Each structure stands twice: as C-alpha cells, then as structure tokens.
Chain A
Amino acid sequence: MLEAAYKTGLVFFPAFDWAISDTHPEREERLLYTQDQVFEEGLFDIDGITEFKAELADVRDVRRVHFCVPDEERVMTESHFISAGGAITLAKALMEKRIERGFALVRPPGHHAMRMVHGNRGFCNVNNEAVMVEFLRQTYGIDRVAIIDTDCHHGDGTQDIYWHDPDTLFISMHQDGRTLYPGSGFTDELGGPNAAGTTLNIPLPPHTSEEGFLFVIREVVLPILEEFKPDLIINSAGQDNHFTDPITNMHFSAQGYADLTRILKPDLAVLEGGYSIEGALPYINLGIILAMAGIDYSHVREPGYDLEKLRQSPQITKIIEETGKTVLQNWRQREIIGRHMKGFNKFAERRRSIFYDTDGLHETQAETLRVCDECGGALKIASRCDSGFQAMAVHIPRKACKSCKELGFTWYESADARSYDFIFLQNRTDDTYVERKRR
C-alpha cells in the first residue's frame, strides 16, 4: 500500500459553478479533468494524504492585504473568498502540525492581484498567497516568508504587495515580459528602497524546457533561499509553463513540475494559472501532489511528451545562465543597491499606470514611501481609476517604527475627504482597517 513520506494536505476546490465567462480559460471546466485524474488515481485514499474542505476567508483576512475599491463585496465573488479560504485552511493545518506540506488546488487564481484592487486583472481579484501569508503572520507569529512564483506569467500582484517588505522574499520565474502578459518582471525590478533585493525576477526565454527551469531552481533560487532563511516557503504553483499550454510558449512538462516541487520543497503551494486543461493539468497536478507527499512519480507522463523534441537550444541555455548570474549578483549586492536607492531622500515616490485586462479598467497610482532604515516604511497610495473611483490608501507595515506609524496616522487623518471617494488606513501593527468616505 502507498504511504506518503510527508503528511500532505490538499484543498481541492474546482469551483464547478464559477467562470469569468462561458469560453474564458478561467471557466467551470478548468479542473474537471484534474479531478478525474486525482479521483481515478485514488490519491485521497493514500495514507498520509488528507483532503480538507475549504473554508471561507473573512473580509478581515482580505483587509490585511488589499484595499478594495469600492469595497470587498463589489470586487470579489464568493469563489474568491473560498479560494483564499482554501489556502488559509491548509496554513492552519500546517501550523497545527496536522500536515507537513500542503497544496491548495483552488480557483480562481490570485497572483496578479495587487494591493489596490479595482477589479480583475489577469484572471485575479484577490491574492490568495498574500492573504494566507498575512493570516499566518497575524495568527501564528510567522515572520520571514519566501514566495517562489513558478507561474509562466510574472507575479506582478504579489510583487506589488511585497515590494516594500524586507521580510518577504519574492522570486518570480516566468516567460520574458517582452513576450507575454503582464509585460513586467525584469531583472532590474528589485523592490523599493526599504526592501531592495527581496524582490527578484528571473525572466526566461520562450521554449525554456526542463533543463532551464531546474537549473534556475538549483543554481539561483536554492542558494538565495539558503541565505534568506525563511520560516516558510510558499510556491505560487502556476502550471502554464507546460508545452501544451494554449496561452504561453514554454516547454516544461509534468515530470519537470514534479522535479521542481521535489527540489524546492515548498511548505505550502497554491495553484495559479494553467490552461491546458486536458493534456497537462491532470498530469502536472498528479506529479506535484506525489512529489509533495514524497511518493514515486516516475510513471507520470502526459501524452505527447518527447524529451528530445522539447529540449531547449544551447542559445536559450546561455541566456538563462546569464540571467541567473545577474539575479545572483543583484541579490549579493542588495545592501549597496538599497543604499543607492535611498540616497539622501526622506521619501521615495512612484507613479504608475495599471491596467485591468479582464475588467477593462485603467488606474493611475502615485505612491509615497517613507524611506526608513528601521522598518518597511509608511506607505501612501493615491489611486484614480476610470471606473470613476478615487481613493487614498495608507499602509502601516507590520513592524513599523514609531515614526512611520505616526506618519501613517497623520496621512490618514489629514487626507482631504472632499478629494477622494475613499480614504483607507490599513494598520498592520494592530491588525486594524478603517475608512472614511467622501464628504
């Protein structure tokens, strides 16, 4: 009989009654064949693999991470609360030592959802991983967390949320932003001045195969993890690097995903994208679950798999090696880079334009950060969206110093309620969230 080497928890929530639209890749059918495979393989019967029922995330859980405009109910559906709740369910089970590892197979995905949410971008409304991580920090006092995003698309939402957080290492490996949505995630995106180097991006050329992915994990990600020493490793486990995925151009495989999982050893993984629903997902998910549980996955093979045909060119290998070098160099020089970014400035400012492809919205943001040597820094975001809403949001980080905390309150209180529809204060030092509305 099969037995898991590591007690593994699964939340399987395929949301069989939720879709963005009838023919959208993010539709009811997406995890149907994965379910068939998982059921037919009898995975939930294996000793040491436990299926948990997803719980609903609370609005409070969302408010630790996001500013939802106009409010949570208007930008999220029930399925989003369940998806984020599924991740929380496993986080709890892990902390209570009922499992050693967990994989939340939930939809909809979340890694394109940024701190400010006006709608859906890249199929995402709420960042499941961030909601889970902040829940863990609030409830169990977890401090240092690494999020490794292996989805084919740049995890720009997670990057945005942790851009100024020196205690969260965010590494995204993805298809080069010059060739794919959302068009970001280059090696020079390293985080803000108070957290330089704890955001790292590894863009990979189209047609990268097993060799390239595993090289990056072994030679770049693992050494950085070893130095960062996180309390927990989270994997944003997108499955769209597969050679059959209809909306990307990579050459990864089910065996490759299983290998990646075995080597990375994430404590918790959360499903992100992946839209080859028949030819890839059933096999990738099977491979990942077996790898997490420490069970032999060598027989997992999807139809059409041909190692030779999928092999990457020497040129691709060379580009990946160069990128790896750059990333490692940036990581090693992060203190210098950070000092340089800070300069003699009291504040760092960022102006951005963000588009919500799914909902067809356009937002402009002006972000002000207090440059600080003691904490992540008080953060203020002025946001205007063509949905018609204007918001001012203040974030006081979890370990804010006295000055940043006071500044955060001042910002919130002095904001002019005639100029904004909403003024928010997200105070992570005492886990509160308050708002004022237009006068």
Chain B
Amino acid sequence: MIIGLDVGGTHTDVVLVGENGLKRHAKIPTDTAALFETVLAGLEKITENINIGDISHAVLSTTLTTNAIVQNKLPPAGMIVSGGPGVNPEAFRTNQYYYITSGSIDHSGREIQPVDPDEIAAIAAKLKDQGIRNVGVVGKFSTRNTAHETRIAEIIAPHFDNVFPGHKISGHLNFPRRIHTTFLNASVYPLHKTFFEAVKTSLEHKGITIPIYVLKADGGTMAFAASIDFPGQTVLSGPSASVMGSLAFAPEKAETIVMDIGGTTTDMAVLIDRVPLLAPQGIELGRYKTLIRALHSYSIGLGGDSVIRLDGKEITIGPERNGPAMAYGGPTPTPTDALFVLGRVTGGDREKSAKGIQPIADALGLNLEQAAEAVFDRTCRQIMAAARHMIEEINRKPVYTIKELLKGHQVKPTNILVLGGPAGHFVERLADISGLPVATVPAWSVANAVGTALSRATCEVSLFADTQKGFIMAPEESFSQPVKVNFTSQEALQIGYQLLRQKAHKIGADMDSLEMDVLEELEFNMVRGFRMTGKNIRIKLQVKPGLIRNYKTITDKIAAGAAI
C-alpha cells in the first residue's frame, strides 16, 4: 500500500491506497504555522492500526517551499552571476547579496573572457562577512560550457555550507530564469532539508520506516534523498496533485480538460491520451520566473464563493471572493447561493441565499429561480470561456519548423473531467455549453491525495553535441566526453537514454516500467567557409509524468466504490 499526502491551503488530505482501492482516507486542517505537525499528524492518522510492513512508500506534496518563497521567510542566499555581452544582468538581481563578475562564454560554449579568481575570492569574502551560507553561481551559457561555474564553485566552496552551480539546476537555455531557479533552490535548501529529515526521524521513532518521496510541479515524484539538492522542484506541486489524481479516469485516447472547481479559483490542465501537458518554460511564482518543470495549468478567479457582480443587465462572476456563500454566513451572494436557491445544494441557510439573489432578480426583472439560473449559467459560461482561452493559448505556441507549423499537433478537447466541491452540479450545464462529454472524477474529494500517491518518478536530461569542436555534454549530469566528427544523433540518443536511466534510478524510479520519450531532437549541419565541418545536435529526453505500474487495479476499485 501507498500513502499519499497532499497539504492544501485549508485542508490536508491523506489516503492509503492499495490493491483494494482506497483503503483509508483522512482530512485534517492545515496549520500553516506548524506544517511539520500537520504532516506528521496526517501520517500518524493514516497508519493507525495498519501493519507498517504492508506500506511500500509514502509520497508527500507540501506547500512548505511554496509558502516560504511567497511569504519571503527564507534565509538570504547569495548569488554570483557572470553575464558577459548582452542584457545587463543587473536586471535580474535577486537581493542585496547579488554580485556580478567578469568572465564570459558565448552561445557555442567558447570562452570569451576568463574567470578572475581574485575577483571571486573578494566576493566570497564579502558574502561570508554578510553571513551568507548558501550561494548560487550562474553564468550565461553555462549549459554550453560548465567550466566557469565549476571553477567559481571550487574557489568559494570552502567558505560556505553549500554552493549551487546553475548548470546542475537546469539544462535549458534562459539565463534570467536559471538565475532565479538557482536562487530559489539555494534559498529553500536548508528549510527543505531540515523539514524532511525531521519528518523521517519522527516517523522512524514511531517505527514507521518507509521510503519517502516528494511530489514535484511536473506531476512526477522523486525520492526524498535525491530531492535534497533540488528542493526547488518541489515548489508548487499542489496543482499537479489533482491533475494526476484525475488522470486514470480520463479516456485512454482523448484530449481531456481537467477542471478543479474550488471555492476561490478554478484550475485547469490538459491531458493528451492520459499524459498531462507540460508548461513550455517553467513555473512562475511571485516575481520569480523559473525553469522548474511544471504541468501546464491555468487558473482563474472563479469558484463557488466568487462575488456576483451586476453591470447593468450583465452578470459577471469573480474574480474576488469576499468570504463563504451567504448560505454559510458570508457577506455577498455567490454561485453557491444560486445553487441553494435552485435546491441543488442543501445543508446551509437557503433563506439567506435567497436574500442575496433577490436584488439581482429585481434588477434583471426575473423571479428568484430565474435569476439563480442566470447566475449559474453565467458561471458555467465563464468557466468554458476560460477553458477555450487556455486551449487557444496552448495552440498559439510558436513553432520553429515548417513541419510543426503545417502538421503540428493542435489540441482539440474531446471531453471534460471535473472535480472540486461544487463540481457535480456543473456536469450537465458544462456539457450543454461545450457540446463535450463531461464527467466527475470518482472520489474527487481525495483525488489530490490519490494523485500524489499514484504518481511515478519523472526526470529529464538535456544533451548538446558539437562534433566540429568534438564534444557531447549533459550539463545537469556533469557529463561530457569527446566525440568524432562523424558522431550521429542516433549515438547521442543512446547516450541520452543511458544518462536518463541512471538519473531515473537515482531519483527512485521503478526501473522496470520506465516510460522514456524524446522531447526534442535537432541536428544541424555546421558549415564553415562553404564546407560541412560538423554537426550540432540538441537532444532532450524525459521520463514522462504518469502513474505507477499497477495503478489500474487501484483506480478501478476507486471508480467502482466511488462514494466518499
């Protein structure tokens, strides 16, 4: 059996799943100020009177790093940045402990200006004086030549707890994002490490000795031990938990929109044949744009508790939330109140809902039920409009080859899966508006925790080869080796698969069911002086997000006994 634990803003959901489906589930309030206690309480509750030997592992999705970043509650990390020609790196300053140095590398990995060790030593001394203990080192084009970052890291390593070279954090090109990703990684490092070590130790004290995995923003997991150096990847794992929990219930060959309709927001994502779509770059959090791999998700300020506004005869919903629905003592009418008036939701004070909806009815010259119907209809229409907008945005993504432009995949949704508090009431109307089949996710109230439990480990490698200069490298893996001029992209792919397998093993993937695929494979003839002199090869491979090997027996059971 597997434990899945998902820390949400108000509640933390924990499930225990296994061959018989959902064995147990629990919901406990989240205490943001005492996250450790919350997590521990959740794990204790779910393992009560269970034979620990029957539990294979636990997967945790926490808001630990996300909250710390958003609330700016992290010990300051230092940054040493070398830009060289181009945009002034001052524009990407992270904090006052941000130093720009000389030294530069060009797009082909050629050294333009060497590192000045004295300059680096002086910066290190300053950072040390300032009490900095974790430092990120990022150079422009360090993914094409890691030498400068490595050299700088070597020079300063003796003076700090940890040094994070940017090329190990991401193999993608984007210097500003690499700076911010490395900075966040260095910033959350101590917090993440302390937290999970504490969780592990406490569990061990209680006799619960199981491997712990953490969920990432791309809907994949990684072993806690492997996550220590890459805590940035655990940022914003929340939205991916629900998407992964819905995955099994999407048709096998389909383009599915997953909608998580909550109180404040509706979050959406897209599945193509049960594989979630990844965001083109990486997550954005506060003022930080990053290279942290994430599912493509789209969030709008519209949910059951959103404010209803009347603009002349036009109803609009959200994006604000003033509190709960009036039926539950809230201050302003909401879509949930409309559902109360229509008698589709019970358990609150319908009279209060009616009182809230009545002025809208009066203004529109409708009776109470008609007004509630209009509000509900408008809510559904706004959700569908946002979904269409999201799809357009995905399909508008620029492509760089004729083949992709003419024959590239265009997403055309074939069905919708909904989950979240009021989701069930939306099914029929969303189907009417969209003309698509709409269904709820079975056991949706714990889909997030189920998704957390069932997600498999994911990872990615980037390779770059220049056969004219005679090398192939994978910056994140600290891998580099010489190649001959006739080296081919087929050979590069073989190396790539090998590196990916090694990485997958390291992060705790199930090696017998590894689903690897090619994200990018580009090969260019390099011509100098009207003569072919070599090849430029770029390859990106991934273990794609998905569910663990035996998920189907588990999710089939969940679907069969859905009532939770």
Contacts and interface: CB of A to CB of B under 8 A. Distances in A.
Nearest to A85: B405
A2 B525 contact: no
A37 B86 contact: yes
A12 interface: yes
Contact of B88 (A1, A37, A79, A296): A296
B532 A23 contact: yes
A274 B13 CA distance: 59
Nearest to A43: B87
B17 to A, nearest CB: 39
Given A39-B173, A45-B289, A303-B106, A14 B400 contact: yes
A40 interface: yes
A82 interface: yes
A32 B536 contact: yes
Contacts of A406: none
B465 to A, nearest CB: 13
A302 interface: yes
Nearest to B91: A2
Interface in B365-413: 396-403, 405-406
A374 to B, nearest CB: 43
B479 interface: no
Interface stretch (B174-182, B300-308, B325-333, B341-349): B174-182
B525 A29 contact: yes
A51 B280 CA distance: 13
A149 to B, nearest CB: 26
Nearest to B396: A53
B376 to A, nearest CB: 34
Nearest to A295: B87
A290 B87 contact: yes
A67 interface: no
Interface string B269-302: 0000000000001000001010000000000000
A13 B173 contact: no
A309 to B, nearest CB: 18
Interface in A420-435: none
Interface in A262-296: 278, 282-283, 286, 290, 295-296
B525 A17 contact: no
A32 B536 CA distance: 10
Task: Name the residue in B173, B287, B405, B529 with the highest tally of chain A Cβ atoms < 10 Å from its Cβ.
Answer: B405
A300 interface: yes
Nearest to B142: A40
B107 A12 contact: no
Interface residues of B, number: 43
B524 interface: yes
Given A40-B173, A41-B87, A17 B107 contact: no
B524 A29 contact: yes
Interface in A73-92: 78-79, 82
B85 A283 contact: yes
A357 B221 CA distance: 58
Which of B86, B91, B141 counts the most chain A CB atoms within 10 A?
A: B86
A56 B110 CA distance: 37
A57 to B, nearest CB: 12
Contacts of A303: 106, 110, 112
Given A40-B140, A40-B173, A22 B525 contact: yes
Contact of B86 (A11, A41, A78): A41
Interface in A237-284: 246, 278, 282-283
Interface residues of A, number: 48
A27 B175 contact: no
Given A37-B86, A41-B87, A286-B86, A29 B526 contact: yes
Contacts of B402: 15, 17-18, 78-79, 82
Contacts of B524: 16, 28-29, 32
A382 B92 CA distance: 60
Nearest to A54: B405
B527 interface: yes
A296 to B, nearest CB: 6
Contacts of B396: 52-53
A277 to B, nearest CB: 9
A33 interface: yes
Given A1-B287, A41-B175, A278-B108, A15 B88 contact: no
A298 B88 CA distance: 8
A314 interface: no
B83 interface: yes
A323 B110 CA distance: 41
A35 interface: yes
Nearest to A39: B173
A133 to B, nearest CB: 23
B11 to A, nearest CB: 34
B85 A299 contact: yes
B92 to A, nearest CB: 8
Nearest to B287: A1
B108 A16 contact: no
Contact of A300 (B86, B106, B287, B529): B86
B34 interface: no
A51 B177 contact: no
B62 to A, nearest CB: 28
A334 interface: no
Contacts of A40: 86, 107, 140-141, 173-175
A71 interface: no
Nearest to B143: A40
B253 interface: no
A2 B106 contact: no
B525 to A, nearest CB: 6
Contacts of B536: 29, 32
Contacts of A33: 107-108
A373 interface: no
Interface string B399-436: 11111011000000000000000000000000000000
A42 interface: yes
Contacts of B287: 1
Given A28-B524, A56-B406, A286-B86, 15 more contacts: A1-B287, A15-B402, A17-B401, A23-B532, A27-B525, A29-B525, A37-B107, A40-B140, A41-B86, A45-B174, A53-B396, A53-B397, A82-B405, A300-B85, A301-B85
20 contacts: A11-B398, A12-B400, A13-B398, A23-B527, A23-B530, A23-B531, A23-B532, A29-B524, A29-B525, A29-B526, A29-B527, A39-B173, A40-B175, A41-B176, A52-B398, A78-B402, A246-B529, A278-B107, A283-B85, A295-B87
Interface of B: 83, 85-88, 91-92, 106-108, 110, 112, 140-141, 144, 173-177, 281, 287, 289, 396-403, 405-406, 522, 524-527, 529-532, 536
